[in-house]
Structure 1
Amino acid sequence: MRPALLALLVAAALPALAVAADEAQKPRTTQELLDASQPSDWRALDPASTLYLELATGRVVIELAPAFAPQHVANIRTLAHEGYWNGMSINRSQDNFVVQWGDPAEEGQPRKPLGDAKAHLPAEFERDAAGLDFHALPDRDGWAPEVGFADGFPAARDPAEGKAWLAHCYGAVGAGRDVAADSSDGTELYVVDGQSPRQLDRNITLVGRVVEGMELLSVLPRGTGPLGFYEDAAQRVPIKAIRLAADVPEAQRTKLEVLRTGTPLFDAVVESRRNRRDDWYKRPAGHIDLCNVTLPTREPPAH
């Protein structure tokens, strides 16, 4: 091939090669990463550890955390299986804090029997870190020496103490208690729907997190009583039922998968949120807060 012709062909190819190189170096967006995921990157929710909070406006899906609060989760399973909350109501909605439900009986008044559930449980504020599949984030945290994800839940740990615990992030579900640390029985549950109150970490037993339907709780009218409790019974939001997914016919279950948190794909997804490089962002943050890492979910793809 003549040198002049070769030079002409190379010159013509250079723009295309430059575009290809630029596209190869451009970081993929979160959605592009998820679109390229493999089936092994996702896991289905365990029906035995999934609660359905049924409201007139729709279904709230809650994943329970038996690895962190085994006795509370066992009690909650029993309560749901026996229909304890059916017909009760959401009776508290405190601005920038929590939504709570349970028996609305006034102090000193008879409360609904617990059935086969236990009336007394130990505090489950933390657990031994040994044996826990903890996937740490590299970012600093103001509340714990290390933070990351364990079994898909935002969590923290202290290597020096050998302890780990769930974090009070948006959507976290906890068991309300009195002053005594062991005064919760799992009947009074709350969901964090405001700025993450991490000061509650290791002070209350967290039992799970909402994976779908948070918008049904976050839009509820705020209570006007102390701590956001509804002063008028008519303001309370009726609960149609709270059921274990395992007790619901399979055809009626919410088909949902969550991204596994111990994978290279999850690391890439977190990095795509830590340092946003799309055209709108002018300065990458270089940091992400534990509670700002949202765990992707999806409907299982059709086979």
Structure 2
Amino acid sequence: MNAGTMTIGVLVLASALASTFASAPARAAEPKPLPPKASVGEIVKESKAADWRPLDLENTLYMDLPGGRVVIELAPPFALNHAANIKALAREHYFDGLVVLRSQDNFVVQWGDPDEKNPRPVKDAKMKLKAEFTAPIKNDRHFTRLKDVDGYAPQVGHSNGFPVGRDPKKGETWLAHCYAMVGVGRDNEADSGGGTALYVVTGQAPRHLDRNITVVGRVVSGMPLLSSMPRGPAPMGFYDKPEMQVPIKSLRVAADVPQEERSNFEVMRTDSATYQKVVEAQRNRGGPWNVVAAGHVDLCNAPIPVREKSGEQK
């Protein structure tokens, strides 16, 4: 190799190296710490009385278990007939003495009559109703839409303290299967449920059930009593021994309970400006712990604050 050839080789190598370094991606900059923002807890703490509403006693259920009370609020605009039938069942004491009979891991806890061969009869209520998987949009007068995209509904948001999906083209709305939502158990036939078997979502939100089961409300207090129940060893989490079942002491409509025995909870108004701050805080959490803001909130991860109010509930 002569001097001229060596010089050309060096120049080619230098050019190649320069091209390689020029095309190499720049090293990603370290994310800047997020600025501090008000947390959900701080927003709730600074809320005003007008940001809250009391539970509707006529549409609130108290399910008393050996470990404490579960408070359920019904949502009649989304399942009018089922809500009325469940209240009728409660008023004829149908659930008293029945049991929690199923706890399936990462899914649901269910209660009702464990005796399929000789089920408890009903009196004035009905065993079966026509399914109410969706309701007309006109029934919902409190919808506040989330701007976030959802994979299960064209639009999602909240209505008077409940997570909902809706399809404006079809004119339909429905309650979503988020954690703590209460639904009506049924068989394969769509119209085979009526409220004698109820379940609550205790795991990852099974949104694929939306519009396949009648959803009637949500638990506003007492979820730890349900979500911590031992998982059933039989298929679908059923308890295979009677001693594993948890007895229901009573299930009553709150309006029928003496005032001194009532629970006193209120729910943040989901159409309030303060609740929109709660959602935004969840969507874009600030520092110092968070490094990256998600810029997104899932319908079932938008918290709906509930608080116990001191004093008597009227």
After TM superposition, the score normalised by the length of structure 2 is 0.86
Cα drift, residue 27 of structure 1: 3.1
Contact 1:151–1:261 (CA under 8 A) maintained in structure 2: yes
Q: Give the structure 2 partner of residue 45 of structure 1.
A: 55
Report whether the alignment pairs 1:113 with 2:124.
no
Alignment of 1:114-133 (within 5 A): 114-132=122-140, 133=142
Report whether the alignment pairs 1:70 with 2:80.
yes
Cα drift, residue 26 of structure 1: 5.1
Cα drift, residue 201 of structure 1: 0.2
- Deviations 1:79-131, CA, capped at 9 Å, x for gaps: 1111111111100001111000101113xx12111111023311000011125
Alpha carbon RMSD of aligned pairs, Å? Answer: 1.3
Q: Give the structure 1 partner of residue 21 of structure 2.
A: none
Cα drift, residue 137 of structure 1: 0.4
Report whether the alignment pairs 1:81 with 2:88.
no
Q: Give the structure 2 partner of residue 221 of structure 1.
A: 230
Cα drift, residue 213 of structure 1: 0.6
Cα drift, residue 226 of structure 1: 1.2
Does the residue aligned with 1:48 lie in a helix, a strand or coil?
helix
Does the residue aligned with 1:67 lie in a helix, a strand or coil?
helix
Q: Give the structure 2 partner of residue 173 of structure 1.
A: 182
Cα drift, residue 298 of structure 1: 1.1
Cα drift, residue 302 of structure 1: 5.7
Distance 2:145 2:231 in 1: 36
Report whether the alignment pairs 1:288 with 2:301.
no
Q: Give the structure 2 partner of residue 135 of structure 1.
A: 144
Report whether the alignment pairs 1:61 with 2:65.
no
Does the residue aligned with 1:130 lie in a helix, a strand or coil?
helix
Unmatched runs of 5 consecutive residues or more in structure 1: 1-24
Distance 1:260 1:172 in 2: 18
Does the residue aligned with 1:28 lie in a helix, a strand or coil?
coil
Contact 2:108–2:201 (CA under 8 A) maintained in structure 1: yes
Which region of structure 1 is more displaced relative to structure 2, 202-211 or 123-132? 123-132
Alignment of 1:133-282 (within 5 A): 133-282=142-291
Distance 1:102 1:231 in 2: 15
Distance 1:88 1:131 in 2: 33
Does the residue aligned with 1:209 lie in a helix, a strand or coil?
strand
Contact 2:264–2:310 (CA under 8 A) maintained in structure 1: no
Distance 2:184 2:310 in 1: 34
Contact 1:29–1:278 (CA under 8 A) maintained in structure 2: no
Distance 1:29 1:181 in 2: 42
Work out which of the two has the higher radius of gyration on C-alpha atoms and give 1 or 2: 2
- Pairs aligned (count): 277
Distance 2:309 2:112 in 1: 33
Percent of aligned positions that are identical: 53
Structure-2 change in CA distance of 1:123 and 1:40 (3 Å): same
- Deviations 1:203-250, CA, capped at 9 Å, x for gaps: 000011000110000110101111111111111011111111111111
Distance 1:142 1:72 in 2: 27
Distance 1:180 1:302 in 2: 46
Distance 1:230 1:223 in 2: 5
Does the residue aligned with 2:204 lie in a helix, a strand or coil?
coil
Q: Give the structure 2 partner of residue 34 of structure 1.
A: 44
Structure-2 change in CA distance of 1:194 and 1:103 (3 Å): same
After TM superposition, the score normalised by the length of structure 1 is 0.89
Distance 1:99 1:89 in 2: 11
Distance 2:283 2:260 in 1: 38
Unmatched runs of 5 consecutive residues or more in structure 2: 1-34
Structure 1 residue runs of 4 or more that deviate by more than 3 Å after TM superposition = none
